Amino acid sequence: MIVIGTDTHKGSHALAAVDDGTGRVRGQREIKADQAGHLAAVRWARELDEERVWAIEDCRSVSRRLEQALIAAGERVVRVAPHRMGASRKGERQPGKSDQIDALAIARAVVKDGVEQFPAAFLNERAMDIRLVSDHRADLVTERTRTVNRLRWHLLALLPELERSLARGAFNRTRELDRVDRQLRKLIGDTRAQIARELLAVLRRLNRQIADLEARLLVMIRAFRPQLLAELGCGPLVAAILIGHTAGVERFGSDASFALLSGTAPIPCSSGKRTQHRLNRAGNRQLNHALHIIAVTRANHDPATKAYLARKQAEGKTSKGALRCLKRTLARRFHRLLTDTPAPTHHQRSSPHPEHAARPYERIDTAPARMQCVT
């Protein structure tokens, strides 16, 4: 069997085929990032070996079309996180960086760790749509923050007392925008005031767009994974992150694989008679952030979660260690929720009654031996 490492770019893709057993190079080439190039790549690979696996660097924006073409052709495809490729390249004897060197590093990273340790490529169009809307909203929020910062500097020069009275997030509310606009209208003929009013108009537009996207996300999630919205701490924005960044839960054979993807799988750091685990800084940090929001919300409002954290601290764990255990348990629960597709009934958030909320915390693996090394 051969592993074909693929370094993807907007205009071209670099390919490097290596033997699965030895890592010996079997062939290298470069193709154009179009339909003709994809067909040429499949023909070239089939001439090299009857059994093959495509290892593609996980840059979804530029690798998506290639993945679609390969899966449509019946090829087996796995995704390799960019940081895994970087670690593999450091171990190469050949110094420097090029597309072919990167493609070879991707292939050898898969050979080193084993094909089964990488998530299979899975094209989930509905999850991708949610991801696109969520990312677009995040970009608009970032742009709103920049606009607010510019506006505040102008207000500091024009109306310092008004600027000091504006709390954080004030420009997200129409009432506050109107109040600032009324004060700026009094400064007739001032160029800085005119610029500040133009920035206010930009903020009004951004606020409307962001609100529309949030409503759109809610509709999409209700139609796709309504069970997520019934979970305490999981609103539409958090659910969108879970769905979009998981990129198809079908890629993972177990909740342990999903936990490693989300960076909630604990890392052992024991020595001698001391047995403990430390924070896992790897994995998808957006997924980790979403699970952290859910964990903190439940820790503050759910009696069953408070009892669970107290029990973990009584066992000798620190408060942060107990929270990490909770996030690992939540990873197991949300892996199951992302896998199940029950028919939508109602969309109200379920009551965090202890008898119902205690179920997710009945069991916790501190160091699951079956974890697959996925990204």
Asked if residue 11 is part of any domain, the answer here is yes
- Rounded to an integer, what distance in angstroms lies between the CA atom of residue 57 and that of residue 62? 10
The DSSP code for 49 is: -
Asked if residue 336 is part of any domain, the answer here is yes
142 and 35 together in one domain = no
Domain final residue pick, 90, 117, 144: 117
Provide the residue range defining the domain that includes 265.
227-361
- Rounded to an integer, what distance in angstroms lies between the CA atom of residue 360 and that of residue 362? 6
255 and 297 together in one domain = yes
pLDDT at 283: 79
Asked if residue 207 is part of any domain, the answer here is yes
* Contact predicate 259/265, CB 8 Å: yes
The DSSP code for 98 is: -
* Contact predicate 327/255, CB 8 Å: no
354 and 264 together in one domain = yes
352 and 257 together in one domain = yes
111 and 42 together in one domain = yes
180 and 237 together in one domain = no
Domain final residue pick, 88, 117, 146: 117
* Three-class SS of 243-300: HHHHCCHHHCCCHHHHHHHCCCCCEECCECCECCEECCCCCCHHHHHHHHHHHHHHHH
Domains held by the chain: number:
3
Asked if residue 252 is part of any domain, the answer here is yes
pLDDT at 60: 65
234 and 350 together in one domain = yes
Asked if residue 191 is part of any domain, the answer here is yes
pLDDT at 95: 61
- Rounded to an integer, what distance in angstroms lies between the CA atom of residue 243 and that of residue 249? 8
Percent of the chain exceeding pLDDT 70 equals 86
CATH number at residue 108: 3.30.420.10
Q: What average pLDDT score do residues 79-94 get?
A: 63
Domain final residue pick, 52, 87, 117: 117
242 and 152 together in one domain = no
* Contact predicate 302/260, CB 8 Å: no
The predicted model scores a pTM of: 0.74
- Rounded to an integer, what distance in angstroms lies between the CA atom of residue 262 and that of residue 293? 13
Asked if residue 369 is part of any domain, the answer here is no
Q: How far from chain centre, in Å, is Cα 280?
A: 15
The two structure tokens encoding residue 115: 């094909």
Q: Which of 106, 11, 124 is nearest to 54 (CA)?
A: 106
Q: What average pLDDT score do residues 182-186 get?
A: 94
203 and 243 together in one domain = no
Asked if residue 375 is part of any domain, the answer here is no
147 and 162 together in one domain = yes
Q: Look at strands 25-32 and 12-19 and give their pairing.
A: antiparallel
217 and 262 together in one domain = no
- Per-residue pLDDT tens digits for 195-238: 999 999 999 999 999 999 999 999 999 999 999 999 999 999 99
274 and 303 together in one domain = yes
- Rounded to an integer, what distance in angstroms lies between the CA atom of residue 366 and that of residue 86? 29
Asked if residue 237 is part of any domain, the answer here is yes
